[in-house]
Structure 1
Amino acid sequence: MNKPINGAETLLSTNAKVAIIGGGVAGSTIALRFAELGIDTSIIEKGESLVNGPPICHLHAGGNLYREISDEQCLTLLQQSIDTVRVYPQSVYRRPTVIAIPKSDSGEPQELLPRLQMLQNRYAELVGLDASNRVLGAPEHYYRLFEREEVEALIDSPLPEKAESQTDWLVAFAQHTELDKLKFPIVLVQEYGLSAFRFAAIASLAAERLPSFHLYNKTQVVSLKQDTQSLRWRVSMQALGEGKVSHLDFDYVINACGFKSGEIDDMLSAKRERMVEFKAAYVAHWPECKGLWPEVIFYGERGTPQGMAQLTPYPDGYFQLHGMTQDITLFRDGLVASCEQSAQPKLAERFIDKIERQWPEHLVEQRTVGSIEHIAQYIPHFTQANVAAKPLFGAQQIPGVDADLRAADVSFHGKYYARTEIVKASSALAASDAILQDLLEHGLVKSKLIEQYAKQHYFPVTGLCSDDEVTARARLLASQRAYPQALANND
């Protein structure tokens, strides 16, 4: 029987060994969840460190960035985001998001109100059920509408150094945004930011302190076989650049390979419909930027020249930019699907080159400048920004055939094999919950306190990571990955 490292009462009894292939957001979260409970857990990760992959910038506490998704998905993302803040508080930027509808868009602000009210009501219910769910501010302040007159009244206000009220977040926005291009009211909603580098730092720090967490980095799986009698798995893996293949045996395997999940499925002839989409975000520096900035979303029709524009602020005048056009964040032929012969959607070689090698410099310049211009149509002074780094990029998988799916977590194939299928980072905890339940149902682990731990995310070691050490590790990871350290700093 394994005991949690802090000496608390044992929750699980197990001798089971779990392998997780892939150390991204999903794989790292599941490994931490299991190792905190004393489950012997190994991550096999091709990269040098944990939590690489598609750009993360937003918590999606309500899914308000996506007009096209269902109310059910929005409610799911709200719950999952609350859970994520509770487990990874040091990775969260506690700043709101402004949602504005341009006059060029066919939508109307009033169309947003039923969903916002539904989310606010659900958030209030969750806080009523458990006061520790109050991580997005007061429920009555989940969102607020601002008419044009209220925004214009802020234009001559001094720039606040610290937000004491919701209006403080709008001063810089009011002073720099071309309000004539927008429909009113605009919305300020408590959808927070999420730092990929700080998330990676927390995972790395906690992993080093958990004796049940084993990391094989710069290593790839070359074959995977399940014994037909014992149902145990033989995982064969190879350190990158070395010829020797080593073999380890496990009781349970989790495929957390993200956009390459189909490659592991193909080793098992495990059929699965999925899509893969290549995306990129861009890093700009606006040295002249002053004041507090919220995240800003200008709605638009995806894939058109007027696709959504997203401005994500970081300290010291750095911004992460999305433009949902084919010339910025989206790519022609960048969305592909699996086929009858393979569970792995085949991205064109030019995308694999970007992921595994490097971007051509001219393309970095072209697309980053294009993203700056896309934002500048609403914030004219943003033309002062310049290219600050290579893009944040990667491919994400989308299970099934619905390209608009945003709330997904896990699927299973046969016995003792699970696939994580998250689209958003906040869904990783839900995936860990589902797989833990599968381990219980199959008797690979036993629990004295099933009801208690099923409702509680138990992360005592992870929660001890201090803000200072998270910042230091996150800055190191940003430098190692050739990004500005400001993207790792706390607000």
Structure 2
Amino acid sequence: MDKKPSKKKVAIIGGGVAGSTIAMYLSKFDIEIDLFEQGTSLVNGPPICHLHAGGNLYREISDEQCIALLTESIQTAQFFPHSLNIRPTIIAVPKDDRAEASDLLPRLNLLQKHYLELIEQSKKNEVFGRPEDYFTTFTKQELFEIAKLEPTNQPRSMTEWMIPFAKTTDLEQIKYPVVIVQEYGLSVFRMASTAQLVLSEQSNVNLHLSCRVEKLNKQDNGNWFLSFSNSDTVTSCNFDYVINCAGFRTGIIDDLAQQQTKRLVEFKAAYVTHWNSDFFGKWPEVIFHGERGTPKGMAQLTPYPNGYFQLHGMTEEITLFKDGLSRSSELSSQPQLPEKFINKITNGWKESIQQERTEKAIKHLSQFISSFETASTAGKPLYGAQQIPGDDITLRAATINYDGHGYFRAEIVKASSAIECAKQIAQTIKLSTEINTLTQPSNDDVCHLAEQFAIERGYPVELAQTY
């Protein structure tokens, strides 16, 4: 009698967006998966708030990266349907910016065309509304007229979504046209709860939370030997494949596996504020473009229920940090962040620094929306370190790297790239027949656990709620 071949065993190191998404996708196949995560729950990393359905926030990246981000965002919306905050994003160019507002239009037209092509391939890809509504432009005169309209908490058109912006923004400070585009919000807390609920139900997935990988090396028989610690226990096992999804700690695992590579790690933060904005109606996301790393860096306003807003300001005084960008070296694949940032990640922030930088974020946005100066700090910052493979700080669309000997490295910069990673891994290790199904949990279950995660992690529950 022929012996039945044993199932392939896969170790996934890191339960962030990349690791959790890859585990969910690969669990559909006839393999055994062990997912190792240092934290007590999944997807607990940098401040994700945006799906980047076209990457329009990033003027500096290529058209090819924008197209990749649009395609990957559609996959993410289909894979994490309960994680979307369905509202558009306004993009405005300040008068003192080096670029013209019209410079945005060729790329938007290209993305709109690509979105239409994807919908023609499959109607399921129509997740950001009709392609003809992918973006809309408004003149200065049109915004002055919109400012006269009554606010609404149930906007049904792009014009109605523009009302809060038109009523509050200094329209003399920006160039025209102003663009509103169907880039949606993405809830990191609802992604976390979806992953936790789905993976807990998959019979071929072993979740190892509060675990640390201690050793990882290639054996003579071709397998990977891995040992991990959990409390006082050290356990060892062998795997056919290892997938390094350790986020900003990816280089630590590379060093264990003797897989040298170049990368950047950048510490970033976003700030949680509260603003009494009910009388302006329901807000879209708002972006004021600016040159990264300068005092005029991009300002970003992300809305949540009950008057909560997340702020980014791409200056060294707000979202970016002096000495916050580190590079790998010939001695180690792990960039060495200064100890002050490691302390923030592991031990949290001093309240005085939290307050100071949040106030700077409020002031930065208030240069365009003066009434926002009445906003207040509403919790600890969302923060973490973002890995970027190679040495191009502008890179945003990146997926998987494979050494040919059973070692994969997930190199995503944006959350939406994780599913493309998973597909490439499945193709590489020749997984073709799906034997399991991914059953989506109910929206109520996702939201309930997401709210628990928000509270446990010290954030307002509104950041987990559907907007």
Q: 1:283 aligns with which of 234, 251, 272?
A: 272
Residue 9 (structure 1) aligns with: none
What does residue range 211-226 of structure 1 map to in structure 2 within 5 Å?
Answer: 211-226=203-218
> How many pairs align?
462
Residue 56 (structure 2) aligns with: 64
Residue 5 (structure 1) aligns with: none
Moved over 3 A (4+): none
Amino acid at match of 1:150: E
1:313 aligns with 2:303: yes
Shift of 1:35: 1.3
Residue 224 (structure 2) aligns with: 233
Q: 2:402 aligns with which of 406, 412, 417?
A: 412
Residue 182 (structure 1) aligns with: 174
Shift of 1:172: 1.1
Residue 3 (structure 1) aligns with: none
CA–CA distance in structure 2, aligned partners of residues 288 and 148 of structure 1: 23
Whether the aligned pair in 2 keeps the contact of 1:34 and 1:40 (CA below 8 Å) is no
What does residue range 38-437 of structure 1 map to in structure 2 within 5 Å?
Answer: 38-229=30-221, 231-239=222-230, 242-290=231-279, 291-437=281-427
CA–CA distance in structure 2, aligned partners of residues 220 and 273 of structure 1: 23
Q: Which digits, 9 at most, give the CA deviation of each residue in 1:242-283, with x for residues without a partner? A: 333111221111100011111111112211011000000000
CA–CA distance in structure 1, aligned partners of residues 72 and 405 of structure 2: 26
Residue 453 (structure 2) aligns with: 477
Judging changes above 3 Å, is the alpha-carbon distance between structure 1 residues 289 and 433 closer, same or farther for their aligned structure 2 residues?
same
Amino acid at match of 1:140: E
SS at match of 1:221: strand
CA–CA distance in structure 2, aligned partners of residues 190 and 25 of structure 1: 22
Whether the aligned pair in 2 keeps the contact of 1:87 and 1:459 (CA below 8 Å) is no
**What's the C-alpha RMSD, in Å, of the aligned pairs?**
1.3
Judging changes above 3 Å, is the alpha-carbon distance between structure 1 residues 280 and 129 closer, same or farther for their aligned structure 2 residues?
same
Judging changes above 3 Å, is the alpha-carbon distance between structure 1 residues 165 and 474 closer, same or farther for their aligned structure 2 residues?
same
Shift of 1:214: 1.2
Shift of 1:373: 0.6
Amino acid at match of 1:263: I
CA–CA distance in structure 2, aligned partners of residues 52 and 109 of structure 1: 36
Residue 15 (structure 2) aligns with: 23
Amino acid at match of 1:236: S
SS at match of 2:259: coil
Shift of 1:414: 4.1
Structure 1 gap segments, 5+ residues each: 1-12
Whether the aligned pair in 1 keeps the contact of 2:401 and 2:408 (CA below 8 Å) is yes
Q: Which digits, 9 at most, give the CA deviation of each residue in 1:295-341, with x for residues without a partner? A: 10000011111100000000110011000000000001111111111
Amino acid at match of 1:461: L
Judging changes above 3 Å, is the alpha-carbon distance between structure 1 residues 122 and 228 closer, same or farther for their aligned structure 2 residues?
same
Q: Which digits, 9 at most, give the CA deviation of each residue in 1:120-156, with x for residues without a partner? A: 0010011011111000100011111000111111212
CA–CA distance in structure 2, aligned partners of residues 415 and 303 of structure 1: 40
Amino acid at match of 1:466: S
CA–CA distance in structure 1, aligned partners of residues 80 and 30 of structure 2: 20
Structure 2 gap segments, 5+ residues each: none
CA–CA distance in structure 1, aligned partners of residues 156 and 326 of structure 2: 46
CA–CA distance in structure 1, aligned partners of residues 43 and 375 of structure 2: 28
CA–CA distance in structure 1, aligned partners of residues 436 and 204 of structure 2: 13
Q: Which digits, 9 at most, give the CA deviation of each residue in 1:417-442, with x for residues without a partner? A: 101000000000011011111211xx
Query: Percent identity of the aligned residues?
Result: 50
What does residue range 428-467 of structure 1 map to in structure 2 within 5 Å?
Answer: 428-440=418-430, 445=431, 447-448=432-433, 460-462=437-439, 464-467=440-443
Q: Which digits, 9 at most, give the CA deviation of each residue in 1:39-59, with x for residues without a partner? A: 211111000100011110000
Whether the aligned pair in 2 keeps the contact of 1:17 and 1:251 (CA below 8 Å) is yes
SS at match of 1:182: coil
> Normalised by the size of structure 2, how large is the TM-score?
0.97
Residue 7 (structure 1) aligns with: none
